[in-house]
Amino acid sequence: MQKTEQNNLATKRNTNVKRFPKELIFLCVFLLILVALAAGYAFWMMNKNLGLAHSPMNSNNNLHILDRIEWQGEPPSDKYEHLKLPISNVIISHTATEGCKTEEICIYRVQTIQGFHMKSLGWVDIGYNFLVGGDGQIYVGRGWHSQGQHVRGYGAVSISIAFIGTFVNMEPPVRQVEAAKRLMAEGVRLHKLNPDYHIYAHRQLSPTESPGQKLFEMIKRWPRWIPDVTQLRLLGNATLKFVTRAYWLAQLPGKALPPLNRPVNTVRFVLTASPACHTQAGCVFQVRLLQTFHIESSGYTDINYNFVIAGDTNIYEGRGWDQSCETEQDQFSSNKLVVGFVGPSDSNKKLALELIELGIKWGHISKDYTLIDNTA
């Protein structure tokens, strides 16, 4: 009996000895995991606070770049077209939104812009290559290697940098401007930008207020800013600036308009009898007045020009390439394209002839067209 109890006691001791090392091992493993997680988190925070200084995309300690993962960007809905690097042109825009001073708010702004570009405009992704926040950080859009959709026709020949905010009446903060300049310098260092790259403002290439008057005045003082956009337009294969109906806030036609029979064989130039205009805002006002007069006073269904050429050198879309204009006999000219001129026509005749050449190229106007010039 005593011997049996001694054997049981020995067995219990042996069992306890066997269990203790397993519990110790589990405890040690758990502690090691906690230490590893803490070290990893500390390392990540250190890199974040240093602006990812060791990243090949951001070797400049003063340049803080947040990649798409960091601002939690949505994946693109389709494939990108790639850029041919290095690029020689940078186009500066503003986002025409509220600005941001902290990383949290800037991330929210970028996410909102991406959502608008993809869901409302139907783009495959956020349109800009990079965005600059008021917090002095860079937010990666499409990056250095992918074509943007910032300015129609120029995505393949330029990099876009958008300042988050609206800078019509106020300048961007110094750290936002300096961050943009450092980004361009980094682009040269990484051989993404040519060392002799040129800078343009969005408004030089498209009928828009972007990047805002105050930022535009700053850009014009930068040594790489170029006032003449001829060469870039040739690269982008876009020599004409069109203002769509949506941009000049056109009214909807009173009813459906008959289509043009394309290619049309007649082009007619007419004076609108409107006062001359020289700014986009002034010309938009004149074109809207024309539409109102045609609908309410003349009884036309819509503005009665296919296109209007104004003193700001923009071409305003009226009935466009698709719809016929009306005659005084309440008939439609299905084989005639009508171009109206706001103000004196002589200086804009060249633009009108370029419009005709574009129409021929696109198959809207016959090569053997007849020009009726009623502006003389």
Residue linked to tokens 């001359």: 276
Reference 166, options 128, 131, 209, 196; nearest CA is 209
Domains of the chain: which residue ranges? 65-236, 242-374
Q: pLDDT tens digits, residue range 194-238?
A: 999 999 999 888 878 899 999 999 999 999 999 988 778 767 655
Q: Do 65-236 and 242-374 fold alike per CATH? A: yes
Q: pLDDT tens digits, residue range 14-40?
A: 544 445 466 666 667 777 777 777 766
157 secondary structure, DSSP code: S
Contacting residues for 35 by C-beta, under 8 A, at least 6 apart: none
CATH 2.60.40.2300 fits 242-374, yes or no: no
Mean pLDDT of the chain: 84
Alpha-carbon torsion (22, 28, 29, 34), positive or negative: positive
Read off the pLDDT of each residue in 326-348 and give the average, rounded to a whole number: 80
Question: Predicted confidence band at 65 (pLDDT cuts at 50, 70, 90)?
Answer: very high
Coil, strand or helix: which one is 17?
helix
Using DSSP bridges, classify how beta strands 87-94 and 193-201 pair: parallel, antiparallel or unpaired. parallel
- Provide CATH code, domain 65-236: 3.40.80.10
Coil, strand or helix: which one is 236?
coil
| Whether residue 185 has pLDDT greater than 90 | yes
